[in-house]
Amino acid sequence: MTAERNPLPRELRPGIVWLGDCWEVPFRGTTLHSYNSVYLVEGERCALLVEAGHPQDLDVIQAQLEARLAATGLALSYVFATHQETPHSAGIGRVLSSYPSAQLVGDVRDYHFVFPEYEDRFRPMRVGESLDLGGTKFSIVEAVIKDLPSTQWGFDASSRTLFPGDGFAFAHYHDAGMCGRFAEEVVALPIAEMTARFAENALYWTTFTPMDPFVARLEALIARCGIEMIAPTHGLPIGDIEATLPAIAEGLRACYVGPDAGDPPYVDNYLT
């Protein structure tokens, strides 16, 4: 996708800026798109980057980030990657090199093998710990849906935004004007089916794990934190949780086939 066609960056709420670009996936005679999104959380004193970007997006993300920080005058003080998988963490070295005062925060295990020159700037954080950005706090919260043992989710207190990494992941159609939009701003998007397809490929454990307990934990986390917006790494942002969560839950439940039940209902490996 060219820069002219990319609708990002987009400020989703005051202090929450969506960065990145779509990547294309051929699918049944059409083109699906999916995001490896990065989000900038802006406080009054400094900013935090959620995710560090997929390799193919790093040039775009760096340009967007530099422009936004120049416009606001904020310093980038922290980088939080939900987990070590490449689409989430590949840009860590580039970001830490470009912003010498920034720290990598969260579950930082194993990063010293890849970025040993920055190990003194790693700051381990556990669930329940927070960072004061000035006027808002960014907290580490329970990752209800994990694809690695180290997976963590983030939460911004001022905007009431949840950053769930691979949770709430689904593709969208490129030719339907869906890029750069909230999930609720588009029509004809089968979110349940798209969620199931993504989970089967990225979170295969959902095919042999009943998902009702996980849906209940999601609902409890949303209620406990007072979450009003969800900013996933691989799906469109969700601005109306009450309207969209049922479709996400349906997609997660659809993955489970139980023991000896054959293939999941949507399995076709469309991402490979």
pLDDT in tens, 222-263: 999 999 999 999 999 999 999 999 999 999 999 887 765 455
pLDDT of residue 272: 28
More confident residue, 193 or 28: 193
Residue 163 pairs with which residues in a beta bridge?
A: 154
* pLDDT reported for residue 1: 39
pLDDT value at 163 more than 50: yes
pLDDT band of residue 182 (cuts 50, 70, 90) is very high
> Is the pLDDT assigned to residue 269 strictly greater than 90?
no
pLDDT band at 2 (very low <50, low <70, confident <90, very high): very low
The confidence band for 4, taking pLDDT boundaries of 50, 70 and 90, is very low
Angle between helices 241-255 and 191-202 (to 10 degrees): 50
Domains and CATH numbers, the chain: 3-189+227-239 (3.60.15.10)
DSSP 3-state of 113: helix
Q: What is the pLDDT of residues 64-109, one digit of tens each?
A: 999 999 999 999 999 999 999 999 999 999 999 999 999 999 999 9
Q: Which residues, 6+ apart, have CB-to-CB distance to 63 below 8 Å?
A: none
Q: Mean pLDDT, the chain, as a whole number?
A: 90
Q: Per-residue confidence at 204, pLDDT binned at 50, 70, 90?
A: confident
| Amino acid identity at 200 | E
Q: Which of 30-34, 47-51, 110-114, 126-130 has the lowest mean pLDDT?
A: 30-34
Query: Which has the closest alpha carbon to 159: 51, 14, 38?
Result: 14
| pLDDT bucket at 270, cuts 50 / 70 / 90 | very low
pLDDT at 3: 34
Report the phi/psi class of residue 35: left, alpha or beta, with left for phi > 0 and alpha for psi in -120 to 50: beta
Overall average pLDDT of the 177-189 stretch: 88
Confidence of residue 176 (pLDDT cuts 50, 70, 90): low
pTM, two decimal places: 0.91
